[in-house]
Amino acid sequence: MSTALIILAAGKGTRMESDLPKVLHRIAHAPMLWHAMRAGLAVDPEETVVVAGHEAAQVEASAKDFDPQVKVVIQAEQLGTGHAVAQAKNALQGFDGNAIVLYGDTPFISEDTLLAMLAARKTHDIVVLGFEAADPGRYGRLLCSGETLERIVEFKDATDEERAITLCNSGVICADSTVLFNLVDAVGNDNASGEYYLTDIVAIARARGLSATVVRCDERETLGVNSRAELAVAEWLFQKNRRAELMADGVSMAAPDTVYLAWDTVIGRDSEIEPNVVFGPGVTVENEVRIRAFSHLEGAHVSRGSIVGPFARLRPGAELGENVHVGNFVEVKNAVLHEGVKANHLTYLGDADIGARTNIGAGTITCNYDGVFKHRTVIGADAFIGSDTMLVAPVTLGDGAMTASGSTITEDVPAAALAVARARQENKPGLAKKLFDMLKARKAKMVKGAS
């Protein structure tokens, strides 16, 4: 049976104290909304509807950045979760299948949990995701009779006896889409908040003779983010879980708590990540790579056997072939370093294509920007770039070319040629001593005058 996702993302998030919609605050460099949308991909949804409200244009743009096919509907007034789900009805007109309600500020629902809910839907009309809370606090409570869920009661409306229940409501619900919208249409707002609670559909369903049940998950999956402090907890939880997953898959981390990953970081087995490494979005590291301490990678691809760092920076568009060495204080941006390239010290390689086995000397800079346009540097295979070479793009150096240290290269260098572009050295016998004597005398005079 087909599945649709309805993701509620209309709230302002007052406690965030921010002009940014709550669901666009980032965890591991991605909006919380993207985490919720990615979680939903586990059920291979035929349709995805995001319900936006506060700063809807921003939310819609972000949702479409993740999935251009997503449908975005507007909840002009925030009148409760039931009202929010009702806004998706027209967008799913004609859809025949299950609908799962997720939340843009609840980023950690797992694939296994969603699949378990779909499995439970085969024998029940309504499936609610619940969890045993260590501190139930103000969560809604699930009132069950055996495996049957009878109703959900919000904390504000619960009796003392009901508040003693520890089985809590996550808000995530799965039902046939037609049934879901029929039940939502019957929800009223006669409650302490004057809102249309999605949770009321369970009692309505039971009154109509429909069945309801609970699928349980770990409480950590249901973590909702409503404040900056909770956002920090969510970041910590993401990092902790993702590090553990990578190490279980064969990645070594000597000090995992100091490694920070993006939501989409990919690292191959038998790779080693040293302490204090930060991954921005869009990084893929293949097998048997070593990322040394204090390096920063973003929008980069690192092939098998390469070594990066320490203190290296790979910026977007950095493409490292196999067995490339990028050393301390080397920055690579929008550049391809082919197999076996070595750039070990104090170098900037931007907008460049560097051939296999070429050696880049310390202090080399590709001068790629003229103040208006970016230009490209192309270096062939087996070339040797002497230390402190300035490569003024656009410029091309052929296979096996060499530059003399301290050269400023402004013209193409043919294959196998040596380029020397610096002033000729001239030695002045005895002049150094004369200069030192003069400077020392001036210093002594200054010191005497000051006293």
| Under 8 Å between Cβ of 281 and 299 | yes
Of 124, 338, 345, 375, which is the active-site residue?
345
Residue 202's closest CA among 215, 217, 214, 193?
214
Please indicate whether residue 296 is annotated as part of the active site: no
Spatial neighbors of 109 by CB under 8 A, at least 6 apart, are 36, 39, 102, 129, 170, 172, 217, 221, 222
Distance between CA atoms of 46 and 327, rounded to whole angstroms?
A: 47
Residue 421 carries which side chain, given as an amino acid letter?
A
Q: Which two tokens mark 38? A: 């990615």
Task: Judge contact between 344 and 330, C-beta under 8 A.
Answer: yes
Structure tokens that stand for 229 in this block: 């402090």
CA dist 170 and 221 (Å) reads 9
Quote the CA–CA distance of 174 and 251 in Å, as a whole number.
36
Q: Please identify every residue annotated as catalytic.
A: 345
